[in-house]
Amino acid sequence: MVKAQSVSTVADLADQFRNSSAAVITEYRGLTMKQITALRRALGTTTDYTVAKNTLVKRAAADAGVEGLDDLLSGPTAIAFVKGEPSEAAKAIREFAKGNPLLVVKGGYLDGKPLQPADVNKIADLESREVLLAKFAGAMKGNLSKAAYAFSALPSQMARLAAALQEQKASGEAAAPADAAPAADATSDDGVVNAEQNQAEAASTEAPADLA
């Protein structure tokens, strides 16, 4: 009967490891059941605070493929199996430990790697996923507003560019006749010069007849 219970407990613990986003291993020596109940309440519904024998936890961790926890499994052990935000669970445990120093954080497990107490404390300093997503959404909203403004400004900018090109084209066409005027003047001057030359030649031709 005892063996059957142990097998069942190991199976349940292994499932907890598999289905949790993180696990925080603590020593609860000296805590009363009332204090443990208060901690469970503080952790909320997304974290299961489970008291278990170290030998059974070791077997369950091995069955779940979790490594590197053996050194943490000594003394009265209780594990916080986190199914929600690891940062929120770590914060709740840290805050509870401030008022209940008998609770000792020995380490944990996250993303396939064992954690030291300092690592758990760092996770407690992180912002939750919801907060990070809210900040990201706010940043994206600001960038999208800038992009929307730029796109809305494009039609007016294109209109101004088209108007400037049309004005430049009109100015060029108006300048064309003025540019042609000097050529006409040059031709007129050439005509006067040629006429004068013709008169001079005629005069030189008529001169010998008068002398005769």
94-145 pLDDT per residue, tens:
999 999 999 999 999 998 899 999 999 999 999 755 544 554 555 555 565 5
Positions of E strands within 83-159: 104-110, 113-115
Distance in angstroms (rounded) separating the CA atoms of residues 211 and 64: 139
What phi and psi, each to the nearest 5 degrees, are found at residue 73? Answer: -95, 80
Among 34, 24, 104, which residue's Cα sits nearest to residue 69? 24
Q: Write out pLDDT tens, residues 137-194.
A: 555 555 655 655 555 655 555 555 556 666 666 666 665 554 544 444 444 444 444 4
Give me the percent of the chain exceeding a pLDDT of 90. 55
**Residue 5's pLDDT band (cuts 50, 70, 90):** confident
Contacts of 42 (CB under 8 A, 6+ apart): 92, 95, 96
Give the span between the Cα atoms of 51 and 73, in whole angstroms: 12
How confident is the model over 197-201, as a mean pLDDT? 50
C-alpha dihedral sign at 55, 60, 62, 68: negative
Q: CB count, 10 Å around CB of 91? A: 18
With H, G, I as helix, E, B as strand and everything else as coil, classify residue 119.
Answer: helix
Q: What is the pLDDT of residue 16?
A: 96
Question: What is 4-70 written as a DSSP string?
Answer: HHHHHHHHHHHHHHHH-SEEEEEE-TT--HHHHHHHHHHH-TTEEEEEE-HHHHHHHHHHHT--S-G
Residue 39 to residue 49: CA distance in whole angstroms:
8
CA distance 134 to 104: 33
Of 35, 44, 51, 28, the closest CA to residue 99 belongs to: 35
